[in-house]
Amino acid sequence: MEIINYTEEHKQFRQRLKNFLAKEVIPNIEKWEHDEITPKSIWAKLGKNGFLCTDVPQEYGGMGGDFLYSVIVCEEIAYSTIAGLLTYLHSDIIVPYISTFGTEDQKKKYLSKCVSGDIITAVAMTEPGAGSDLASLCTTAEDDGDHVVINGSKTFISNGINCDLVIVAAKDPVIENSYKAISLYIVEDGTPGFEKGQNLEKLGLHSQDTAELFFSKCRIPKSNLLGERGKGFYMLMQKLQQERLMITINALASGEFILEETIEYCKKTKDQGGLLAQNQSVQFKLVEMATDIKIGRTFIDKLIADHMEGKDVNTETSMAKFWVSEMANKVADRSLDLYGYSGWLEKCSVVRPWRDLRGTPIFGGTSQIMRKIIAKSMGL
């Protein structure tokens, strides 16, 4: 019995996306990896074809789809080995802040353009001196009449170069309680005092732009406050379940792709007179990897189903986030070993996903932080 039941509409959507990626994305991956950024034009094409922000209600220009459409997009992009095209960050992590906490005016102003790809979003939390500890934020937001003035800097911001809109976590310096001092603000590209830094060179996700952002006397209207003032920390925490689930889905799909490619390679590659797949040692390695992937898929599908039912599975999602991320990296490492010298070549089909997977135990909360969250839930 399947845990998730995809409808015919879901299956048609997946096939349409496969066809789109085969035509518009896969032929361009090498160029985008070299350029270290994906062009805004591909975001517009994704939006035009209905592959962005699939859960946004129809009244705001979206298709009003269920969470499975988000899952499908995340998986298929991972299968296509263009993990640098980080659409799930935009569609399923950042835009939901506007959908959930935005005013009616903010929803009308931004959501339809997020759906169409005319607006690419980013969220700015991490700072040079404050990573996972939001209480250590130094970026400030001070009232000045009808405006708010933001000062500070952010780093490791995904979509940092391409972003047209960034949700900034900033602290009111007057409030002593660090958590109650944090609010979220919408800052549009081109706002005076908002500058984008360099596109950071990374080990993986080469086609995904990651940048430093700087705010110097950046004045925005008070109407750009997202949600309630002083509730920024709690808003961020509320959305972590879906954020970590999306990262985990992406990691699992990448692991599935790598395993499938490796099995096919072993079936057609000879070593010492026989096919690799006929070697018992190789068979056992493939079986062990396939078992781990299957366990991960079963776990993730159950979490997807629970998440869609509105259940609180923060602890279980934290478990999946660290375990699946680390497991997928082990599958990638062991697969690359089976390729031998071929695995040293950039043209090897598993090299890019092997490289891109390395960041998954880090972003969205490190594996160590996931373990701390789980330990706390266990009363330890």
- pLDDT tens, position by position, 328-360: 999 999 999 999 989 889 999 999 999 999 999
Q: Residue 31 — very low, low, confident or very high, per pLDDT cuts 50/70/90?
A: very high
243 belongs to the catalytic site: yes
Region 43-71 average pLDDT: 97
C-alpha 356, offset from chain centre:
12
- Under CATH, domain 8-119 is a member of which superfamily? Acyl-CoA dehydrogenase/oxidase, N-terminal domain (1.10.540.10)
Residue span(s) of the chain under CATH 1.20.140.10 come to 239-377
Residue span(s) of the chain under CATH 2.40.110.10 come to 122-229
Task: List, in order, residues 6 or more apart from 258 with CB less than 8 Å away.
Answer: 328, 331, 332, 335, 350, 353, 354, 357
Region 236-249 average pLDDT: 94
Residue 1 has pLDDT above 70, yes or no: no
Q: What tokens appear for 17 in the block?
A: 């996306």
Report pTM: 0.94
Give the SS3 label for residue 38: coil
Region 138-143 average pLDDT: 94
pLDDT confidence of residue 132: 63
Please pick, among 76, 127, 212, 243, the residue that the annotation labels catalytic.
243
Residue pair 101/171 in contact (Cβ under 8 Å)? The answer is no
Region 18-32 average pLDDT: 97
Q: Which CATH architecture has domain 122-229?
A: Beta Barrel (2.40)
Residue 177 has pLDDT above 90, yes or no: no
Q: Residue 2 — very low, low, confident or very high, per pLDDT cuts 50/70/90?
A: confident
Tell the CATH topology of 239-377.
Butyryl-CoA Dehydrogenase, subunit A; domain 3 (1.20.140)
Residue span(s) of the chain under CATH 1.10.540.10 come to 8-119
Q: Residue 131 — very low, low, confident or very high, per pLDDT cuts 50/70/90?
A: low
Q: What tokens appear for 227 in the block?
A: 């949600």
What's 179's DSSP letter? T
